[in-house]
Structure 1
Amino acid sequence: MRAFAILSALAALSSAVAAPPVPSKASAYGDLTNGERLARGLPLKAPARRTKAARDSAASPVPSYTAKGHLLVRNASDNSVIGYASKDVSITTFITPNLDDALTVSVTLPVGATGGSQLNLAQADSPNAFTSFGLVQGRDDTTTDISAGSSNYLYISSTNDTPAGSSPQQPGNAPSNLNGSALSSESAVWTIDIVSGTAFPIWINSDGVAATTQLFTQSNALFASGDLDAVYAKFSLLPVTPITLTWVPAV
């Protein structure tokens, strides 16, 4: 009798383990589409909640606008006007006294902003095929770096685009074409404010560090360097005049 009771209990336990679980309505209908749920008289699925990452990835790009202008050249010593950066861009850019001959450049900014740093200045009416107005390694330079005590210099000239904050690149530029050599350049070097007129470039050395960048003119052409005295000591046939640039809106 006792053996029979034990066998009965084991049979009942075996039956309970083997029996499949009864699915709930949620699991039974969870994979149905909303169309299939409607056909069965079931409520529709609640809309899926997007994560913050998904919302951020679907965010629209920041709207922007483009401003056009010219670069006015002044003598840094007395603030007198020398002229404008010219459309005449050969190895380097020359200065013209005539606004009609001034190079037109453009800058793209977020809506609501009046300026920024590490910006590209696109050449709106340059006679050459290069996209931007930037800085190019000098033909006589021993390295791509400018610094105090170095006579290395930079052409202010035409170049193709380089990434903001990058060290010297070789995307192609006017001085390389005209000199027949591979000179490095940077385009996204400009700090611009279209309201105050602030306009100056900052060269990034090969170590990724921003270099003190001084602008000057020699023989009516535009250059930059890390040390004007060192440049003049090496290239002293013509005077070196320190200059500043000012953004002037194009009419």
Structure 2
Amino acid sequence: MKWLLVPLTFLVAGALVSAEQPTKRVAGQVSNAERLARGLPLRPPHRRSSALQPRSSNSAPITATKSCMLAAFNAADNSFYGFLQAEYGPQTPSDPGYLGTYGLFTGDSSSALGVSFTYTYDPSSSSTVVGGLQVRTTNAPGQSTYGYLGIADPVAFGGGPISASSPANYGFLTDVPHAANSPTTVTPNAFSTLMNLAMTTDLFSSPVESYVWSYDVSSGELAPSWTVAEGTTIPLQVGIQFGMNNVTATWQQFLGSSGSWTQLYFKCTQVEIE
């Protein structure tokens, strides 16, 4: 059996030689294990060049349609004021529908004005507000003729055009056709049509706008605005006075020129329809 010792000896020697091969390292480099054994400070971690790059957090824009009623809240204390009613407010109690503007509110949601709008929202944006929206009506008194909830500027007796520099001037919420924002379009609308019928004159050829709404996807608030002649869009505040919804650039200055009124804001009350 002596001949078996040669290969066994060779294999054992080979294993010993293999085990004694030094680990390859850069000249002068000492591993952290050896540094620790020698009492030397450890080398700092080395960032690999193949480290993963951070992923982009951008998300694709989302387009959705909202169908809802306009719930009004008192801006002073955030209390519920009522749903905007699908009926025009009267100039006097004996003349229902005389103005052609919205200013009546109800606690009955079945009598509320129904609206819908489509918006595109970027979830990666820091802003939750989407502007320049048209709001369609679904059950308005002037539904078959107009189709949108917009703003009419009653220049004939409103003191002048709506502007940031003349905040005492105001507009009305009313039914309007599809109308561009800048320049404003002088076109028939529920306010001017009904006022002219009542007055038997053509005094109220009001400028109107339909792209007047911004929507906050976080709070559900719908807020009006107006685009002035030079193309700047100014936010408007909503207030109720004498059965009319007035919209103006600055509530405090309007209050000083026009007596007492209640400042409101609107929220959309129902869920998205994808």
TM class by shorter-chain length? 0.5 to 0.7
1:185 is matched by which residue type in structure 2? Answer: V
Instruction: Kindly report which structure 2 residues correspond to 1:240-251, keeping only aligned pairs within 5 A, or say none.
Output: 240-249=261-270
Please report how far the alpha carbon of residue 152 of structure 1 lies from its aligned counterpart in structure 2 after TM superposition: 0.9
- Structure 2: where are the runs of 5+ without partners? 1-60, 89-96, 197-203
Aligned to 2:208: 185
Please report how far the alpha carbon of residue 222 of structure 1 lies from its aligned counterpart in structure 2 after TM superposition: 1.4
Aligned to 1:69: 68
Please report how far the alpha carbon of residue 109 of structure 1 lies from its aligned counterpart in structure 2 after TM superposition: 3.0
Deviations 1:133-158 (A, max 9, x none): 01110252233223255421110111
Distance 2:120 2:222 in 1: 18
Structure 1 residue 214 corresponds to structure 2 residue 233: no
Please report how far the alpha carbon of residue 64 of structure 1 lies from its aligned counterpart in structure 2 after TM superposition: 5.7
SS of the residue corresponding to residue 211 of structure 1 reads strand
Distance 2:229 2:177 in 1: 18
Aligned to 2:147: 131
Distance 1:115 1:240 in 2: 27
Distance 2:250 2:63 in 1: 37
Please report how far the alpha carbon of residue 194 of structure 1 lies from its aligned counterpart in structure 2 after TM superposition: 5.1
Instruction: Kindly report which structure 2 residues correspond to 1:104-183, keeping only aligned pairs within 5 A, or say none.
Output: 104-110=114-120, 116-128=130-142, 129-138=145-154, 139-163=156-180, 165-180=181-196, 181-183=204-206
Corresponding pairs, count: 187
SS of the residue corresponding to residue 126 of structure 1 reads coil
Alpha carbons of structure 1 residues 171 and 108: separation in structure 2 relative to 1, 3 Å: farther
Instruction: Kindly report which structure 2 residues correspond to 1:6-85, keeping only aligned pairs within 5 A, or say none.
Output: 65-85=64-84
2:74 is matched by which residue type in structure 1? Answer: N
Equivalent of residue 221 in structure 2, options 185, 198, 216 = 198
Equivalent of residue 92 in structure 1, options 75, 88, 101 = 101
Alpha carbons of structure 1 residues 63 and 76: separation in structure 2 relative to 1, 3 Å: closer
Q: Is the 8 A contact 1:199 1:245 kept in 2?
A: yes
Deviations 1:178-229 (A, max 9, x none): 1222001111111114553121011111221112412111134311112334
Distance 2:129 2:119 in 1: 7
Give the number of the structure whose alpha-carbon radius of gyration is greater: 2
Aligned to 1:58: none
